[in-house]
Amino acid sequence: MASVSTKRGDGGQTSLVGGVRISKSNLRVEAYGTIDELNSVIGFARSICEDAEVCELVKTIQRELFVVGSSLATAPDSQKRPSSVTTDMVDALTAQVHRIENTEEILFDWSLPGEHKVSAAFDMARTVCRRAERNIVCLTESGEQIDPNVLPYINRLSDLLWLLGRLLELRAGVNGRLRDDKK
């Protein structure tokens, strides 16, 4: 069996999908590395969540994040075809956002993270998602090409993660409002 420890990265280089070697400080590596971190934080949130509906949705998102990460980890000039983030994936997240927004008594004001353990974990995931979004914007602004659906997917996902936190608070009967006078 091959070892996970190849030692090929000991000099600060890594391989993109297709074998192109680049610095581990490259913006592309930062972008897909943050997607990997996001997937782990979402996995933690799912591991402590007891809401079966939310867990199933999140598991689907985690699988899709591997597609997002693979897309970002593929050099534009690679011989290997990159994974595609589809408009259907973006539309599915948008539909979930709209579905949860239509939940009676869902919070639309600022929330205070930490009022509920599981919603706090989803708030952590949302902040990592927003960082991933900023990293992807930096990557595109540097002139690198990426799948045009990656940024909308991550933007929609951050909205959904925030709403999942609010939905879980609502279902638990927890008031996570920043201001007590607002709904």
pLDDT per position as a tens digit, 134-146: 999 999 999 999 9
Across residues 163-178, what is the average pLDDT? 90
Give me the architecture of the 24-74+84-172 domain, per CATH: Up-down Bundle (1.20)
The candidate with the shortest Cα–Cα distance to 51, out of 100, 112, 109, 104, is 100
- What does pTM read for this prediction? 0.89
**Token duo for residue 9:** 């990265």
The residue written with tokens 């693979």 in the block is 70
Do the beta carbons of residue 159 and residue 102 sit within 8 Å?
no
Which of the four pLDDT bands, split at 50, 70 and 90, describes residue 5?
Answer: low
The sign of the torsion formed by the CA atoms of 102, 104, 109, 110 equals: negative
